[in-house]
Amino acid sequence: MIERTVVDIFCGVGGLTHGLRNAGFRVLAGIDADEKCGYGFEHNNPEARFIHKKIEDLSPQEIIDLYPPQQIKILVGCAPCQPFSTYKKKTGQNDEKWMLLHKFAHLIRDVKPDIVSMENVPSLLNFDNGEVFEEFVRLLEEVGYHITYDVLYCPAYGIPQKRYRLVLFASLFGEVSIAGEFYAPSEYPTVRDQIQSLPAIAAGETDTTDPMHRARGLSSINLRRIQTSTPGGSWRDWEPDLVTQCHRKETGKYYNNVYGRMAWDEPAPTITTQFYNFGAGRFGHPEQDRALTLREGALLQTFPQDYEFVAPNTSYNLEDIGRLIGNAVPVELGRIIGHCIDFHLEFFEKEVTATLNERSSA
């Protein structure tokens, strides 16, 4: 098999990298501005080096130097999606984070890897009237890339979250075919499939055998709220004295997907960086009177149960680890992306072989 080497920009704690490794790819390095990603990335992905650096400070030559000669060079990345997210409701005009996507495009142009994959939120397609995404595509097409992209519904690809993700491929060999759905609705993975086997704990407790199985405490009123909540229900089911002030306002009446319990036999809602917070979404446990634990959030992001996010004898900070998990690309989506690239390399075997022969004789 052709050696396929990968550099992962905006690597986070390693969700995309781990999925690609599960698909048989060799990940050389991950690059991220958040140094707290370093332990989890390197510990769970042996031989992959973590580089703590902002993309703004990264030169094309630094990436080029990571790749060994005479191998297929793949560059992947998920630019921070917060500027494009519907959760943020921003226009983006005053948020410079979207410029990271522009910087990513310029790095691709200058490094010119054989294949690129970019994953992000679907609202990127319409952000700033679509101009940001169109500019990204145009910059890549100008240097010879064939572009394909699609919006994937995660449960149809084995990820137990009701989330949609934009997946883009760029290749110098030809168009990458994006895999069709693997699962029918009756086969979608569920919350029950992922977390039912974990020990029961109360709000504010930590499982004695797994420090990641830790739940945030609840105030007395939030405890009453979750005790009144039913799976799939909302704050509309509560007694009037439990309804928050914001939901009593006209503008708050339309926000139903907060302070809710998940349903056992459905996929979870999108796991955000605040999934451990009962009031931040439909993140209540289906039966137990608490929000999700760190471990449950990680499992719903399809991280394996033995994935380590912090070094031994380190504090399991809810905010820090919640951010690492919520910002991650689901591991299974990384494996699917690898599957698409493998199929592509097989389909364009002649072109790939010619490229490698050219490099050997150079």
**Where in the sequence numbering do the catalytic residues fall?**
81
Which of 243, 297, 244 is CA-nearest to residue 273? 297
Q: Name the DSSP class of 7.
A: E
Return the amino acid letter for 276: Y
Report the distance separating Cα 282 and Cα 51, nearest Å.
Answer: 35
Return the amino acid letter for 270: T
Report the distance separating Cα 107 and Cα 263, nearest Å.
Answer: 43
Report the distance separating Cα 262 and Cα 355, nearest Å.
Answer: 50
CB 290 within 8 A of CB 262: no
Beta-strand pair 72-77/4-9: parallel
The tokens of 178 are what?
Answer: 């994006």
Report the distance separating Cα 194 and Cα 42, nearest Å.
Answer: 25
